Amino acid sequence: MISSKVIEVMNPLFEIIRKSKGKTIGQIKTELNIEKEKMKKGASGLIVENLLGIENNNIADADISEIGCEVKVLPLQKNKNGKIKVKEPTQIQMINYFEVAEETWETAKLRKKINLTFWIVYLAKENGTSLHQDDYKIVDYFLDHPDHSKMGIFKNDWEIIQDYIIKGWADKLSCSMGTFIEPKTKGKNNQDLTNAPDGKGGVLKARRRAFYYKKNYTNTQIVPHIDTSKI
């Protein structure tokens, strides 16, 4: 259930995105008088930090902490056949192998990041060609609050990943795992390593990874709720 407090806090942000629907990143930059060299972190930073005035973070607390709501941007691609799909998986948070190994699903930090999410959707690729960032266009928004059934799928995905970590198999994690979330590698190359449990009470080195929403989740649970008629 979405509480009245959530609606009260989110309504001004909904209105900002409603007024921005159909506008390009370039138009928004002009309206906000943002010089290129002062724009924060590309399109994502422009939308979240400059347009909405929210400081994006990668910590345990939610972006809008008073209601426990995360803010995520979601780039779409419109294929040559007219189908609209998500362009890429969406990062949720970095994986701390030792923390995850000690958590239960009830105490998992990941839960705070997926319980309530304000998705802002924009078009980034059309007819097989990536658009210039200034031509990205705001499409729509969606407030996602997964129900008990969906949270059960998240829980199962998380437990599979956790089991690998506990057994000392952190470096065997794969993006093919999971239905809604995947453990995607991060870092510059396969030499970018961090500590992980070895399954025997010791420590091993493993590739850095982060929890990501799989495209399966955003394509099936977010995109169908988006008004894509204008693209």
Q: What are the structural domain ranges in the chain?
A: 4-225
* 20-76 tens-digit pLDDT: 999 998 898 889 887 765 565 677 777 888 889 887 555 567 899 999 999 999 999
Cα–Cα distance between 163 and 157 in angstroms, integer?
10
CB 225 within 8 A of CB 202: no
Eight-state DSSP code of residue 178: -
Q: What is the pLDDT of residue 38?
A: 59
- Give the residue-averaged pLDDT of 151-156: 98
Nearest to 212 by CA among 179, 167, 172: 179
**pLDDT, tens only, 200-228:** 999 999 999 999 999 999 999 999 999 99
Diameter of the chain by CA atoms?
57
| 4-225: CATH architecture | 3-Layer(aba) Sandwich (3.40)
Q: Which amino acid is at 197?
A: P
Tens digit of each residue's pLDDT (9 = 90 or more) over 119-132? 999 999 999 899 99
Q: In whole angstroms, what is the distance from residue 33 CA to residue 45 CA?
A: 15
Whole-number pLDDT of residue 16: 95
Contact 53, 101 (CB under 8 A): no
Q: Which residue has the higher pLDDT, 37 or 185?
A: 185
The pLDDT assigned to 57 comes to 56
Q: Whole-prediction pTM value? A: 0.92
Q: Please give the full DSSP string across 17-73, using - where no structure is assigned.
A: HHHHTT-BHHHHHHHTT--GGG--SHHHHIIIIIIS------SSS-SBTTTTBEEEE
Pairing of strands 70-78, 117-126: parallel
